[in-house]
């Protein structure tokens, strides 16, 4: 598919290290799926290493690396030109670098009409550990994310926020929800943020809207044990769209690897096609 068919294909995936992902076959996945836009999390690399794997000859790149080497990192790789790039949110929250990057893309419209501006955002929200400062940092960062989502929603237009949110929204979004009621990623206080994004701010969860009522499809499985083989996963990777862009979404697919050995990350890509 792709823009030649008037469909914009956006894929988001936590790569768990760009170098490791390419060693495990991410390049072959990109070739087979032909996304127009890649929204990446946990890049864990410098600008130079990212460009070594996604050549600027073929991709327009925007990247925020973490201040801590080998941690976090978010990137946007686009076949379409970027008219504006905004790096990070400068929240002052500990560990907030490598967690937010925005780009405005110019998408050709049909029949000679002016191009659409589509804002794409890649985010990687803290995982958090209950009873530690990292949980406070997660909530503080979520407050800033909520404020930014409110601003974007108020402005209207085409926008998508995608990435590893590290929160499963509902019981159908986690296989063992009963065993994780007090675990980070499924706490009521965390899930309430998503309620606000959807119910109050109007963002739409395309993985759920187009992926059925569940359970699943899940996007993350532990490397350990038989989690992947037993599909004991979590749905923590999202594409959240403004109503204007959500109305153009025609499909959402989790590219779950056929076997454990064929995974290039502990997350699976979420791919959404938009008919613009």
Q: What is the pLDDT of residues 32-63, one digit of tens each?
A: 999 999 999 999 999 999 999 999 999 999 99
Provide the terminal-to-terminal Cα distance of the chain, rounded to the nearest Å.
13
User: CATH second-level architecture of 3-275?
Assistant: 4-Layer Sandwich (3.60)
Nearest to 103 by CA among 127, 70, 81: 81
Length of the chain equals 276
How do strand 204-205 and strand 158-164 relate by DSSP bridges?
Answer: unpaired
pLDDT tens digits, one per residue of 218-239: 999 999 999 999 999 999 999 9
Q: Sheet of 60-64: strands edge to edge?
A: 60-64, 74-78, 37-41, 7-14, 270-275, 249-254
pTM of the model: 0.96
Cβ-contact 24, 264 below 8 angstroms: yes
Instruction: Let me know the angle formed at the C-alpha of 28 by 23 and 32, rounded to the nearest 5 degrees.
Output: 160
3-state secondary structure at position 83:
strand
């Amino acid at each position: 598919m792709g823009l030649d068919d008037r469909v914009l294909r956006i894929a988001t995936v936590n790569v768990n290290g760009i170098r490791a992902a390419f060693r495990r076959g991410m390049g072959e996945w990109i070739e087979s799926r032909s996304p127009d836009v890649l929204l990446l999390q946990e890049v864990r690399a410098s600008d130079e290493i990212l460009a070594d794997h996604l050549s600027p000859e073929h991709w327009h790149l925007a990247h925020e690396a973490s201040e801590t080497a080998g941690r976090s990192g978010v990137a946007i790789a686009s076949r379409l030109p970027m008219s504006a790039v905004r790096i990070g949110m400068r929240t002052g929250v500990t560990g907030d670098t490598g967690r937010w990057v925005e780009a405005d893309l110019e998408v050709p419209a049909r029949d000679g009409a002016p191009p659409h501006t589509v804002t794409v955002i890649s985010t990687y929200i803290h995982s958090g550990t209950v009873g530690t400062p990292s949980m406070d940092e997660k909530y503080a960062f979520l407050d800033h994310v909520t404020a930014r989502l409110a601003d974007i929603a108020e402005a209207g237009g085409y926008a998508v926020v995608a990435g590893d949110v590290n929160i499963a929204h509902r019981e159908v979004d986690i296989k063992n929800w009963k065993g994780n009621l007090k675990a980070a990623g499924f706490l009521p206080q965390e899930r309430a943020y998503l309620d606000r994004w959807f119910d109050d701010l109007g963002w739409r969860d395309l993985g759920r809207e187009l992926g059925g009522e569940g359970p699943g499809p899940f996007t993350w499985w532990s490397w350990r044990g038989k989690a992947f083989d037993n599909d004991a996963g979590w749905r923590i990777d999202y594409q959240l769209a403004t109503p204007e862009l959500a109305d153009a979404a025609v499909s959402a697919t989790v590219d779950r690897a056929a076997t454990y050995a064929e995974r290039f990350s502990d997350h699976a890509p979420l791919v959404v096609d938009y008919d613009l």
